[in-house]
């Protein structure tokens, strides 16, 4: 089951800004053992 992304409360984007940003920290974790301190949901909620 695919997890849905949280919605931003901001509706207006700057001209040229992408409609959606998608990223994964999987590769950096596999290569360097780095793990994000905050979840995507936490980052969006604090924006």
- Reply yes or no on whether the pLDDT at 41 is more than 70: yes
For 12-37, the pLDDT digits (tens) are: 777 888 877 777 888 889 999 999 89
For the chain, the domains span 20-47
Q: Encoding tokens for residue 15? A: 């001209």
Radius of gyration in angstroms for the set of CA atoms belonging to the chain, rounded to a whole number: 13
Sequence-distant (≥ 6) Cβ neighbours of residue 10 within 8 angstroms: 47
pLDDT attached to residue 24: 82
**46: three-class secondary structure by DSSP:** helix
- Reply yes or no on whether the pLDDT at 6 is more than 70: no
């Amino acid at each position: 089951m695919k997890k849905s992304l949280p919605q931003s409360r901001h509706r207006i984007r700057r001209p040229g800004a992408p409609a959606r940003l998608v990223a994964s920290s999987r590769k950096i974790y596999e290569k360097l053992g780095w793990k994000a301190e905050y979840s995507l949901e936490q980052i969006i909620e604090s924006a």
